[in-house]
Amino acid sequence: MNLRNLALHVFFALGLGLGGLAGPGAARADQGSTDFSIDPIDMAGSGGRWITDNTFWIEESVSRGVPDDSSYRYVRHVSTELDPAASAGEPFGHYDDVLPPINGFQLSAANHMGENQLHASWQRGALNDFANSFIDWRRAFTLDPFASVTLTGLATLASALPMAPQATFSWVPNQGYEYANRGTLTWRDPDNLFTSLVVEGSIFTGDPRDLASLPTQDRIGHESDFTYSADSFGHLSLTIHNHSAQTLFGQFEVFATASTLPVPEPATFLMMAMGLGLIALITTLSRSENVTMGP
């Protein structure tokens, strides 16, 4: 037996052994969540008024990491289709929903919306399972000339993997006919894009309750329309400023995402690494044999 065939035999033997150790979907429970608790928004004291109720939609989905289509479940709820009480009151409204454990497995997703609190979470019992929770909340308001209003709160991200969230901010002026400006404050780990909290502030070109009539104001977006702050603990703040003599039509929006993708077991990672090493060895041996044998 030459060295190349020996390497192939070793690779397959290790594959069978490690595969037996890992097993399909080896159990290893983990969970993740995104939470956001805000300070009460002093809309009246800021010279503003809410002009819509809380508007939101949520999604939850789970799926076993096995070739079984029957395990996939998905739900979506929109505030306009629910009891009006769900949209009433202070941000963020009132609604709870859970996708319970599937077929006896520890695999579920949940969302909670309460007064000044958002919570999206998932849990699973095997690393190759998938679960996702998502919340999109928004509410429109008016703001008096030369006034400002602020949304501030604490974002907490949790995952089985170590996380080091960072804040980024961007603004996009004059986007289409509806928006004079949009500012986006994002809190997430650059290496984990599936768990995040996003706060967005929008300035409209008129009353968003009548989008067909826009634009009714001649607004030009500017960087000074927004100020923000963020620290390493997840304290986030976004302020919308009205620098004009016109009433401003604005909106706060919050996106909470808690999601996971199937992750290979440690033994699978080891097999992949050893496989790549053996492939390199086989390639080297093949070249060596070709050189030795020659024409």
Same domain? 253 vs 107: yes
177 and 273 within one domain: no
Q: Taking all residues of the chain, what is their mean pLDDT, rounded to a whole number?
A: 83
Higher pLDDT, 197 or 268: 197
Asked if residue 249 is part of any domain, the answer here is yes
The answer to whether residue 189 sits within a structural domain is: yes
Alpha helices in the chain (DSSP H): 3-22, 266-293
Pair (254, 152) in one structural domain: yes
Task: Determine, yes or no, domain membership for 39.
Answer: yes
User: Is residue 222 situated within a structural domain?
Assistant: yes
Do residues 175 and 285 share a domain? no
Least confident of 8-17, 207-216, 224-233: 8-17
User: So what's the pLDDT on residue 15?
Assistant: 38
Choose the weakest-confidence range: 10-14, 31-35, 39-43, 103-107: 10-14
CA 237/CA 147 separation, integer angstroms: 16
**Do 157 and 34 contact (CB within 8 A), yes or no?**
yes
Q: Please, which pLDDT band fits residue 106 given cuts at 50, 70 and 90?
A: confident
Is residue 24 scored above 60 in pLDDT? no
Residue 25 domain-assigned (yes or no): no
Do 139 and 51 reside in the same domain of the chain? yes
135 and 273 housed in the same domain: no
Number of domains in the chain: 2
- Same domain, yes or no: 148 and 275: no
122 and 80 in a common domain: yes
Q: How do residues 168-201 score in pLDDT, each as one tens digit?
A: 999 999 988 999 999 999 999 998 888 999 999 9
C-beta of residue 213 within 8 angstroms of C-beta of residue 249: no
Residue 28 pLDDT grade (very low, low, confident, very high; cuts 50, 70, 90): low
- pLDDT value at residue 189: 94
46/89 same-domain check: yes
Asked whether residue 189 falls in the same domain as residue 47, the answer is yes
Q: What Å distances lie between residue 162 and 148, 158, 165, 260, CA to CA?
A: 37, 9, 10, 14
Provide the domain limits for residue 71.
30-162+171-264
Mean pLDDT value across residues 237-255: 98
Whether residue 58 is found in the same domain as residue 122: yes
Backbone angles phi and psi of 177, in degrees to 5: -90, -15
* 186 lies in the same domain as 226: yes
Percent of the chain, pLDDT > 70? 77
Give pTM, 2 decimals.
0.79
How much is the average pLDDT of 164-171? 97
